Structure 1
Amino acid sequence: MSIDSQKGAGLPAQGTPPVVPPSAPHSAVEKQVARSYNSAVANETLEDYSLRYAPKSFRRWSEYTVATTALGGIAYLADFAIGASIAISHGFENALASVLVAALVIFLTGIPISYYSARYNIDMDLLTRAAGFGYLGSTLTSIVYASFTFIFFALEGSIMAQAFHLGFGLPLWIGYAVASLIVIPIVIFGMTAMAKLQVWTQPVWLTLMFAPFVFVAIKDPHSYAAFTHWSGGTDVKGGSTFSAVGFGAGMGVALSLIAQIGEQVDYLRFMPDKTAANAKKWWTAVLAAGPGWVVLGAFKQIGGAFLAFLIVASAGTVVADEPIEQFRHGLGVYITAGTLGVAVFFVVLSQIKINVVNAYSGSLSWSNFFSRLLHYHPGRVVWIFFNIGIALTLMEANVFSFLNTVLGFYSNVAIAWIGAIVADLVINKPLGLSPSIVEFKRAHLYNFNPVGFVSMLIGSAVSIVAFEWGFGHGTFGTYAQAFSPFIALALAFVLSPVFAVLTKGKYYIAREDTLPEPLTVDGQLSGVSMECGVCTDHFERPDMAYCPFHSSAICSLCCSLDKACHDMCKKGGASSGPVDLTLTRASS
């Protein structure tokens, strides 16, 4: 079914009155001077369509390149620290179970998000708007997502600083600054520079990442069997036992990574169109680079637990979860000289590969947040420095020392967000409870949609209470505290269709898209180029809407930044008149 034929799906049956066009004097004032953007915003090599649909003309990369670039972003070593931290606290059995179950949840929830992002070429924020949150309602999730990027930037930067300290004697506070500044030149040039970095460095990174485990298998194979009996702490000879509370607590930490899917789809939005000819390659790339990231992620967490097991008796629990120490020992099993240098190189390479992604995704999220609330967009590049500044502050506050607490708390909010989105994509849309179209533009959305927005608020609020206070004392409270992320997931997932039924889906689309040009051509999103009547630049049809305030077509960014219109096109619902395409159409 084409997107055009899906218009109105899940909308209320009653019609909506037309909007009265603005008075001539007001319109004339608005059109005296076209909006202009600074060079950073106008240059899409830097801007990367940070607030827009990614057009066909920009998506010049192959499925393989997009997937490799996305997977290059999971080179982070926080997985090793997370797995080690869980195992040190709860032992092998609980660590293994929590990592595997969390990975399954992350994989399943990542499938629909990856598909819709790659199919409609939009990032996580734009998808959230369309999937039950509304135009302003998704500002909350922008903060959640931005928090993910700077929390993990801080964790990864801390790991890099630890490598600088061990390898070069650099004080940690200086190492934090170096780790922050080193990624900026790459992130500024967005996908263009990051694609080259990730593709060129991936073989080297994979070789070094697996090397310690191969070396240990050759030199000390019995340690793998001994690892399965580790009960945690420094007692490497004790017996490991399963504990429901330990399993739940460990899973809460592992589930904090569920928002990583947002960083994956920040790349998947650049996938080429899916056609009959490339369908197999397209699906392989989407599944591998989307939810598939967690397969390698789970391996790294278990691997981090194993490397911590090897050194905890001699190094102690304080440093056993530090990846630089883990790899220094793991590589040293086989390499007799230069071990520290190789370990430092690997850690620094890994952290650069991931922190360019954290900084990049954070810049997208902050751009979306401030453009909606303040109607202000100085360019994605500005928000790179803002996001890194927050991360650097966290590093200087030694966020690494309270890793489990930070991630355990964060996972309650992040998983409620993901649960609400997934419910809309896999339940509400197939059942007709929400429109089958994916609409992200301000011109067509209500500011708040209770379906996703309220579902997330309730799910995260209840789970945070459970996480912090366990609903009181006693056994029930202990279990509620340990399994609080599942409370968030279950509540958000169930409440989304409930609210969709109660609201009859009427808060998804504020007015229909009435631009004459079709949204689809031969089943694909249209590539026709149209001129924005406000900035006079040209953008492809999926990024355009009709604006009765300006009496012309308008691009999604100009629409977002307009302060004067006060959403007049949606007052009381809206339909709009046709556009004179002799003025707005550029080329097909």
Structure 2
Amino acid sequence: MTQELSKEPETPVGTGADAGLDQMTATKETLEDYTLRFAPRSYRKWSTRVVGISALGGIAYLADFAIGANIGIAYGTTNALWGILIFAVVVMLTGFPVAYYSARYNIDLDLVTRGSGFGYYGSVVTNVIFATFTFIFFALEGSIMAQGLQLGLGIPLWIGYAASTLIIFPLVIYGMKVLSTLQVWTTPLWLVLMVAPFGYLVITHPESVGQFFAYQGENGVQGFDLGSTLLAAGVCLSLIAQIAEQNDYLRFMPPKTPENKRSWWTWMFLAGPGWVIFGAIKQIVGLFLAVYLIANVADSAGIANQPVHQFLEIYQNFLPPWLAMTLAVVLVVISQVKINVTNAYSGSLAWTNSFTRVTKTYPGRLVFLAFNLLIALVLMEANMFDFLNTILGFYANCGMAWVVVVASDIVFNKYLLKLSPKQPEFRRGMLYDFNPVGFGSMLIAAGVSVLAFFGGLGAAIRPYSPLVAIGLALVLPPIIAVATKGKYYLRRTDDGIDLPMLDEYGNPSDVHLKCHVCHHDYERPDMIKSAVGAGEAAGEKAKAESYICSLCLSTDKTGEKVLPAQK
């Protein structure tokens, strides 16, 4: 269902000391996944449907089942359900603007973040936050797969951890081309295996519904409790950064035209903020299965939060033991592969983005793919299931601060106050290194909410740390933007190229220009005028204007090709 790539050009030859191996490696590798730059129209040949299904395939993870079970066991069904509702509403509202910007302008969330109040280097910290998200959830899913392999095949956990890590590496090497095919073809089987146990219980054991709603958790919480609800919501909101993984697919959406407008909006919504609808359903189902096990299966309290045991126990109710075990293991393996190829892919993008900007060196995405997988493997070997709620509750505060700040900047500063440039800017030289609007807002929101989470503001405030993060991240960007009059968004308003950035439908232009460093053609939004022309760099007088692509400019160690700030 995917389209073949255009033929790869010959590896270019650099033209300066800073334009050697980094540019050659970058040019060759980004033909597949466009790691650090705008995704050009010539590459985006997938339909809106294929892009949408590929993005939704990334939410096949079983961690939602574990999260739903954990918060329900800790706080009771009523508070867990209210916490899940809060989580879904927050993710939906914040996810829509950032998903739209990635799909409309064909850039990932890091590039959106740069121009939404953070600055060229300011968004590096958000990349680290996102990379942390990817290896935490990679480790969580890998742990679930290892549990399945141990239960079904008797494989020791430590070997299962290694196997669940190594199997992912070859699948992620070729980026979107392989991932889209994998996600599309595995989704139907995954849906059947996931829905069957829940449907069986509701139909054949209707009393399980009453048990579910009456469950009060380990601590016997009576009915609705605001503090417990917010603590549950905080754990769920650790998933708020999932929108960044969705955007890694959404950036490959085709141009929006009058002919595909309805399909474009539908799949942008479903694959963007709409992911949380499916995520919330899975959390509720995970809690439902856990309550059933606790109420009806002896000695199940210790395993009720483990998805592999949840599905195995239910399958055994209506299938032969050998088939139940087989299907449980197949479900776990498919789910783990579907999500962890996305975790590994997105994590490698995030680390590469940060490293390249800070060091002006591009070592290749595969280096950081291996690095991300190694960190995840260490977490698995440390048995992260034992402290899952604490990890996710802490992380949620950082993730919320980032995503809500970006959403706030788009909604308030770009559209209402018009202090932030409406079209996202990501190129070096066009942006200031740091912008206090987003960068400052995120640091304050994350810092104060983490302090609250660990009780630094008093025990009474601790359950409200998610509200602290959301509230500060929402109001600070417009306040700081007004105070600074928006002057730290753009270092330049003119990129030196006298060609329109958008076509007649408002899509990024597909006009091609040649980069004078790597000698490869890139589309207009990825290009900027070079401060030093090809001839000047060689000590000769330039005969014509020279352009440079965003990645070659990012790896310019001398900075001589960066245009000066406008006065």
TM-score (norm 2): 0.92
Distance 1:158 1:510 in 2: 46
Q: Is the 8 A contact 2:529 2:563 kept in 1?
A: no
Partner Cα distance (1:359, 1:101) in 2: 28
Q: In structure 2, what is the equivalent of residue 82 of structure 1?
A: 67
Structure 1 Cα separation of the partners of residues 82 and 50 of structure 2: 33
1:89-488 equivalence runs, <5 A: 89-233=74-218, 240-313=222-295, 314-337=298-321, 338-430=323-415, 431-472=417-458, 477-478=459-460, 480-488=461-469
Cα RMSD over matched residues? 1.8
**306-315 vs 166-175, which moves further:** 306-315
Equivalent residue, structure 1, for 2:476: 495
1:536 is aligned to: 519
Shift of residue 569, structure 1, vs aligned partner: 2.6
Q: State the match for 2:547 in structure 1.
A: 553
| Structure 1 residues 352 and 46: alpha-carbon distance in aligned structure 2, compared to 1, 3 A threshold | farther
Q: Distance in 2 between matches of 1:33 and 1:142?
A: 24
Secondary structure at the residue paired with 1:315?
coil
Residues 308, 332 of structure 2: 8 Å contact kept: yes
| Secondary structure of 1:447's aligned partner | coil
Distance apart, 1:286 and its partner CA: 0.2
Separation in 1, partners of 2:562, 2:245: 34
Contact 1:363 1:381 in 2 (8 A): yes
Write out per-residue CA displacement over residues 432-476 of structure 1, whole angstroms, 9 at most, x where no aligned residue: 12111210101201000000000000001110111001513xxxx
- Going from structure 1 to structure 2, the CA distance change for 1:333 and 1:40 (only over 3 Å counts) comes to farther
Q: Do 2:23 and 2:555's aligned partners in 1 also have CA atoms closer than 8 Å?
A: no
CA distance in 1, matches of 2:250, 2:228: 35
Q: Which 4+ stretches in 1 moved above 3 angstroms?
A: 29-47
Q: Which residue of 1 aligns with 2:540?
A: none
- What is the CA–CA distance in structure 2 between the aligned matches of 1:443 and 1:343, rounded to whole Å? 53
Which amino acid is the alignment partner of residue 365 of structure 2?
Answer: R
Contact kept, 8 Å, 1:47 with 1:381, in 2: the verdict is: no
- 2:308 partner letter: I
Amino acid at match of 2:354: F
Counterpart of 2:263, as a letter, is K
Tell whether the 8 Å contact from 1:55 to 1:540 is kept in structure 2 after alignment. Answer: yes
Q: CA deviation at 1:47?
A: 4.2
Instruction: Tell me how far apart the structure 1 counterparts of residues 287 and 38 of structure 2 sit (CA, whole Å).
Output: 41
Q: Give me the TM-score of the superposition, normalised by structure 1.
A: 0.89
CA contact (8 A) 2:231 2:463 kept: yes
How many angstroms does 1:239 deviate by?
Answer: 8.1
Moved more, 68-77 or 42-51: 42-51
Query: Within 1, Cα distance between the matches of 2:483 and 2:115?
Result: 18
Q: Deviations over 1:364-391 (max 9, x none)?
A: 1011000001111121122111110111
Q: What amino acid maps onto 1:492 in structure 2?
A: A
Aligned-residue offset at 1:125: 0.6
Q: Does the 8 A contact of 2:32 with 2:176 survive in 1?
A: no
Q: 1:42 to 1:555 in 2, by over 3 A?
A: closer
Q: Report if aligned partners of 1:366, 1:383 keep a CA contact under 8 Å in 2.
A: yes
Distance in 1 between residues matched to 2:273 and 2:449, nearest whole Å: 24
Deviation at 1:342, TM superposition (A): 0.7
Q: Is the 8 A contact 2:152 2:325 kept in 1?
A: yes
1:514: how far off?
2.1
Q: Which residue matches 2:490? A: 509
Q: CA deviation at 1:164?
A: 0.7
Distance in 2 between the 1:316 and 1:421 partners?
43
Q: Deviations over 1:76-129 (max 9, x none)?
A: 000000000000001000011001111111011110011011000000110000
The SS at the match of 1:228 is helix
Contact 1:463–1:484 at 8 Å: present in 2 too? Answer: yes
Q: Deviations over 1:299-358 (max 9, x none)?
A: 000110011111125234321110000001122222233211110110111000000000
**In structure 1, what is the Cα distance between the partners aligned to 2:474 and 2:79?**
26
Name the CA distance, whole Å, in 1 between partners of 2:498 and 2:560. Answer: 24
User: Match for residue 7 of structure 1?
Assistant: none
Give, as a single letter, the amino acid of the residue that structure 2 aligns with 1:498.
I
Deviation at 1:51, TM superposition (A): 0.3
Code of the aligned partner of 2:440: V
For the pair 1:57 / 2:42, whether they are aligned, the reply is yes
Residue in structure 1 matching 2:556, options 531, 554, 562 = 562
Distance 1:409 1:257 in 2: 12
Structure-1 residue corresponding to 2:11: none
1:316 and 1:124 map into 2 onto residues whose CA distance is: 41
Structure 2 unaligned spans of 5+: 1-13, 535-545
Deviation at residue 399 of structure 1 after TM alignment: 1.2
Distance 1:496 1:45, change over 3 A: closer
Gaps of 5+ in 1: 1-28, 576-588
Contact between 1:88 and 1:317, CA under 8 Å: does it hold in 2?
no
Distance across 1 between alignment mates of 2:177 and 2:390 = 36
How many Å separate the matches in 2 of 1:448 and 1:315? 55
What secondary structure sits across from 1:135 in the alignment? coil
Distance in 2 between residues matched to 1:245 and 1:33, nearest whole Å? 55
Residues 1:287 and 1:564: Cα distance change in structure 2 (over 3 Å): same
Amino acid at match of 2:234: G
CA distance in 1, matches of 2:560, 2:482: 29
Deviation at 1:45, TM superposition (A): 7.2
* Partner Cα distance (2:454, 2:78) in 1: 25
What's the CA shift for 1:46? Answer: 6.8
Deviation at 1:35?
Answer: 3.3
Give, in whole Å, the separation in 2 of the partners of 1:464 and 1:239: 25
Distance 1:368 1:33 in 2: 18
Work out which of the residue numbers 521, 527, 548 in structure 1 matches 2:503: 521
Number of equivalent positions: 537
The one-letter amino acid paired with 1:569 is L
Cα distance in 2 for residues equivalent to 1:341 and 1:327: 11
Change (3 A) 1:143 1:32: closer
**Residues 176-213 of structure 1, C-alpha deviations (whole Å, 9 max, x = no match):** 00000111111111100011101001100011110001
Query: Kindly tell me: are residues 245 and 33 of structure 1, through their superposed partners in 2, closer, same or farther at Cα, counting changes over 3 Å?
Result: closer
- The structure-2 alpha-carbon separation of the partners of 1:528 and 1:301, relative to structure 1 and needing over 3 Å to count, comes to same
Q: SS where residue 513 of structure 2 aligns?
A: strand
